[in-house]
Each structure stands twice: as structure tokens, then as C-alpha cells.
Chain A
Amino acid sequence: MINATAPLLDVRDLTVTINRDGGLVTALDKVSFFVNPGEVLGIVGESGAGKSITGAAIIDLLVPPLKRTGGTITLAGERLDQLSPKAMRGVRGGRIGFVFQDPMTSLNPVITIGQQLCDTIQTHLKLSGSQTKKRALGWLDRVGLPNPDVQFKRFPHQLSGGMRQRVVIALALCADPVLVIADEPTTALDVSVQAHILELLRDLHRESNVSMMLITHDLGVIAKMADRVAVLYAGRVAEISPVGELFNAPKHPYTRGLIRATPMPSATGEMRLDQIPGAMPGLGAVPPGCAFNPRCFRAEGDCRATIPPLHHEESSAFSCFHPLERVTA
């Protein structure tokens, strides 16, 4: 890998399979990417592309029958895929924070906000009771909840969706992780609240310089937040590029299709929406060769015969035999 700094998180050939009716179906097929220190890596793709599975696989939190069957995951030089369950618990929440999607279901309904925060802090940091509480209150304040003393004693149902998501973010960050995996952190929220939560995530990222993996299907979120973007399609990496390059000069036909299918005003202010024909293949229905070939206007014989390997260029990588040329619009 041509890279000046050593990546904080290095995922190589991550493979996840699901045992269905006795047969193994591949859900994630040799996914490789890395996250540099202080960087925001966006992971984008349609529903079912394997974005959330990628996030869950990193902290070994896959829901059976999903199972990690191959690949290496390295966090700051340490192989996470070889850790004991006990050591993995220390990583979860301690070194990798995870922001869940739906704040309505991800907080324990019968335990106070304060207790959930204190439990998390005490699991990872050796602090006294009063220091723990002080830290918890500090985090409630940092994520922008008014009157932390009051919120501390409240139950999740007493907070609005946006406030709950702030609590979820505090829970993910309260033990000072080096990496935050945010799995669709704004998808379940009202549009007006989404912007606030994104702003909060960006502020926290700037303050603490924590690295972030931002999983989303929303290219708008990617454009606002990410430094680099990995595009997943049917459990494989289609393309990884710096965000500007991805939007201006996508290499993979799927990436361009995805961008064109997103309502975004172009430079001239007009809205253009193009659909990609067909639908992403489901689990176990991936065609031979490039998974995108049945929907691709550039597909040729080689695309149907062999899976294109991830091809690295200076700052980007893509898996396509017939990448798009840079078009000057």
C-alpha cells in the first residue's frame, strides 16, 4: 500500500458469510480499506450492500448466523480478529466507539441516561465514582444537552429523538475511543434534526481528532462529512476515492450511477436524476464476474467471466476492468 502514514485501522480481505439452509452464502467478499488517523472514511452503498455488516464485523458484533470467516482487521498495529472475547470487550467502547442508527431502540428504556453513561465509562476507565459522574455530566454537556444534571437522572423515553441520538453519541465517545464507527447515525431522524447531529459529529471530530467510519446510504451526508469514501456494492468494494475525486471523477460505473441517482443540484443549478437500471442482487444471487455487470453499460465479456480485483492508483482504488475516464463537464 502506498501511504505515507500508517493507517489507524487496516481491514484486508474481510469476508463474512451467512449459513443459510446448510449452504454458505457470502455477505461480504474480501473487503479491504483503511482509515488514517484523524480521517473520516465514508462507507456508502445501497441497502444490503454490506455497509452495516462491515461495521459490525470490525468489533465482532455480527448477529448470527452472520459469521466472519476471513481477512484481517488491524487497529493501530493490533490484530482485532485474533483477540479473545474478553480483550475484544475492552476494544468495544474503549478504543472503538459505535454509534447506532435508531436512538428510539438503542438506549435501554429502564435505566437512566446517567447510569448508562457511568456504566460505560467505568467499564473502560479507572475512575472513582465522583470522577465518573463528572465525566458523564461533562459528556452530556459536550453533546449539547441542556441541564446535564437533569438529563442525568432521566430515562430515554423522556427525551426527544434528536436528544436521544446525542446521548447515543455521548455513549459511543465517553471512553475516549480512537475510532468511531457511526452506522447511519442520522437515518432515523427528522431532516431538521439530521443537520444538527451531523454538525455535532463534525465538531466532536474536529475537537478530538478521533478517526471516524461513517456508514450511510446518503451521498449528501458523505459530501458534508467524509475525507475519503468507500463505495460498496453487493458485498464488495467498488471504489475508494477522496471525496472530491469521487464526486467529480468517479472511476466505477456504479459510483457514477449512484451519484446521478442522488438528487443534487449541479453547478448550473438544474436537477438531474438518472436511475440505474435493474436492482442490486440479493444475498447468494451475485452473478459471476463483476457483481455490477448486468446493470452496467460498459460491461464486456471479461466483466462476466472474472471478478475485477481492486486496482490501486495514487489516491484511489477501484475494481473495474473498464473504468470511466475523467470527463470534463
Chain B
Amino acid sequence: MLNYAASRIVQTVIVLLVISFIAFLLVANIGDPLAALLSADATVNERLELIAKLGLDQPLWTRFLHFIGNMLRGDFGFSYRTQDPVANLIAERLPATVELAFVSLLITIVVGVPAGIYCGVNPNSLFGRFIMLISTAGITLPNFVVGILLIAVFSVQLGLLPSFGRGTVVDLGFWKTGLLTVSGWRAILLPAATLSTFQVAFIIRMLRTQLMEVGQSEHIRFARARGLSEARIWYVYAIKNTLLPVITMLGLQLGNIIAFSVVTENVFAWPGLGSLFLQSIQGADIPVIAIYLIFVGLVFMVINLVVELLYPLIDARVLRRQS
């Protein structure tokens, strides 16, 4: 187990270094920091000074190590566009996106998992077929269409929920949360539901396929031959065999939402990372894009690490494949 954990962590660090290097190459090769930082009437001396200060006269590897060192000290550079520290920009946007991601994950688990189990256990029931039909819509409709539809129904027609913003936010000092106020919860429902549509549909289909497959296996038949109750067979003996792919997929989806909920955030004017990313691309704000890239890598790697560390708790065979 310790070996397993150690090897996973080492892998994570290596991948993060590779991502950082690619991001660094982006900063080093695209755009001209001198043009962005110097005024138009700067002298040659000022220019040389800045080059020395930024270390642009150093070889590539030295600059990369410098870049890594700065990051480890919490210095992520400055945005070309706003001149603000990149760290501040991201920290400001992060809570909105993380909260959105977790609420949509919650919806996915609460709605998708029971529905998926139902469809897997009763694949031919009328209700099961109905769920599958609806889930086809969830898979095929693009996010922005779902978002606009939800706004049209719940905001415009029924006037129940707000169509944009985060509602009232409480500042905890290190984190601005919308989850402590009623208006915050009302505001998060529509975007979170939009984001979870695809995931709910996906998880239903995945659980159904997995359960139907496990249901055919010899060990389930043997469990039946021993007279175990159907409830025990499905909810313990079968489900446990389907958990690995399900938590893998939930983890990836969580990362996906934190990193790339650009479209949904745009539809709902959600002040999160997605809109920051969009603005940075439009403004060719390379330092922000680079740090954002590394951050996204970090999010995926950490989630993946947590998921992989959960594997052996569910299926001990993972450890055997390791050794």
C-alpha cells in the first residue's frame, strides 16, 4: 500500500513538472514581456535593466528553474492585461468555480447514482427505459442549450431562480462563499444543474452498463445459488464491482468542471475561472494562461491521485497489479 501510494505521488509530481515546463515555454516564447511592461519612451538602459531583472539574458534551463522556484514561493508573475499578480486573479475567481463544481458533483451523485442503479437492476422496466430516453437528451444537448433552456423556464417563465451572478456572498477572509446565503444557493442551482446534466446522463449509462455486465457474472449467479437476498446481491455484491470506473469518471468530471466550465459560466455570468480564462485568451494574457494551465494540471493530478489512492480500498487487486 505504501509503495503504491509513493509511486502514485512520484508520478503526479513528474507529470506536473512536465506541464510546468510546457507552460513555461509558452511564457518564454509567446508574446513580448518587454513591450508589455516598458513604456513607449523607455531608454535602452531601462530596457537592459528590465532584461537583467527578469532574467531574460539567462539560459532557458536557468530561467525554468527560476520559474519553478518562484512558483514554489507563491510568486506566479503578473498579468500583462491588468498588471495584477496572477495569484490574486486566480484566488479571486477560484471559490466561485470550486463551489459550482462541488454542487454539480453533488447533484450528479444524488440524482445519477440512484437512477443508474435503478436502470442497471431493472433494465427492461418501463421507468428504466424512460430514464434512458431522458438521459439520451442529457448526453446530446450541449451545455449552453441546457443552460438557456433552464433560464427560459425557471428565470423567465416561472421567475423562480436568478439567471446570472452568484447572489449574496459571505467573505470568510480566505474564501468568498455563496453557500451560506439563500440567494447564493438560489443562484448556484441553475448553473450547477446545467453542468450536471451531462454527468448525470453519463453516470446513469455507465452504471447501467456496468451493473448489467456484473449481473451476468458467475459470482453473482453463485451468490444467488447461495440464497442471498436480491438487495444484498445488487447493493453490496454487484455495486462494489462497479465502483472503480464510477469514481474514476466522477473524479475526471470534477476536474473538468473546475477547469473548463467556460461555456456554462459565460451563459450564467458566473464570476469563476472559466470567464477569467476566456478574458485572458482574448487579451493574449500569456502569464495568466500559463499559470492557469499549470493550475488545471494540478487540479486534475490531485483529483486523480485521490481517486487512485481510493482504488485499493475498493478493490485490493489493484495492489497486486502494482507489484
Contacts and interface: CB of A to CB of B under 8 A. Distances in A.
B84 interface: no
Contact of A93 (B226, B240, B316): B226
Nearest to B216: A63
A110 B320 CA distance: 13
A100 B222 contact: yes
A105 B228 contact: no
Given A100-B222, A102-B218, A109 B228 contact: no
Nearest to A89: B227
A92 B316 CA distance: 29
A91 B228 CA distance: 11
Contact of B226 (A105, A123, A157): A123
A94 B225 CA distance: 10
Contacts of A78: none
Chain B interface mostly? helix
Give chain A's interface residue range (CB within 8 Å of chain B): 20 to 34
A324 B224 CA distance: 43
Interface of A: 59, 61, 63, 89-94, 97-98, 100, 102, 105-111, 119-120, 123-124, 155, 157-158, 168, 171-172, 175
A98 B314 CA distance: 28
Contacts of A109: 219, 241, 315, 317
B219 A124 contact: no
Nearest to B214: A108
Kindly list the 10 A-B residue pairs having the minimum CB-CB distance in the complex, ordered from nearest. Answer: A93-B227, A93-B226, A92-B227, A98-B225, A105-B218, A106-B222, A108-B219, A89-B227, A120-B226, A110-B240
B155 to A, nearest CB: 45
Contacts of A59: 225
A157 B316 contact: yes
A111 B229 contact: no
A111 B237 contact: yes
Interface residues of B, number: 23
Given A119-B228, A123-B229, A106 B314 contact: no
Interface string B211-246: 000000111111111111100100011001100000
A152 B315 CA distance: 16
A110 B222 contact: no
A172 B226 CA distance: 7
Contacts of B221: 61, 63, 100, 106
Contacts of A89: 227-229
12 contacts: A89-B228, A90-B227, A98-B222, A100-B218, A105-B219, A107-B222, A109-B317, A110-B241, A110-B315, A123-B229, A158-B320, A168-B222
Task: Choose among B219, B221, B237 the residue with the greatest number of A CB atoms under 10 Å from its CB.
Answer: B219
Contact of A94 (B227, B232, B241, B316): B227
A171 B220 CA distance: 13
B224 A108 contact: no
Contact of B222 (A90, A94, A158, A171): A171
